[in-house]
Amino acid sequence: MSEAVRRAVGKANPGTAEYRAALREAMYQTTELAGVQAIYNFKPGNPYGADERARVIVQWQSGRFKLVQ
């Protein structure tokens, strides 16, 4: 995300509506950003950026979590 911030700062001053718009646009251009909980691809309609790869289903079996495929 720091790369998106650098791109936005070059277009407008932080704290302004123009900066927020530039930051949003820079975030939408960011793809396959590896995070702790997911791989992020921000785009309109998906403001959190996490896709189906971030979702898992687990069951509690015999005192342990088991990944359900």
CA 60 to chain centre: 29
Query: Residue 33: which of 67, 68, 5, 69 has the closest Cα?
Result: 5
pLDDT tens across the length of the chain (69 residues): 788 898 899 899 999 999 999 999 998 988 898 888 888 888 888 878 888 887 788 999 999 999 886
The answer to whether 49 touches 38, Cβ cutoff 8 Å, is yes
pTM over 0.85: no
Structural domain count, the chain: 1
Domain boundaries, position 41: 2-68
Q: What is the pLDDT of residue 60?
A: 95
Q: Is the Cβ–Cβ distance between 37 and 50 less than 8 Å?
A: yes
Please tell me the distance from the alpha carbon of residue 19 to that of residue 42, in angstroms, as a whole number: 17
pLDDT at 19: 95
Return the structure tokens found at 7. Answer: 């791109």
Assigned token pair, 19: 């900066």
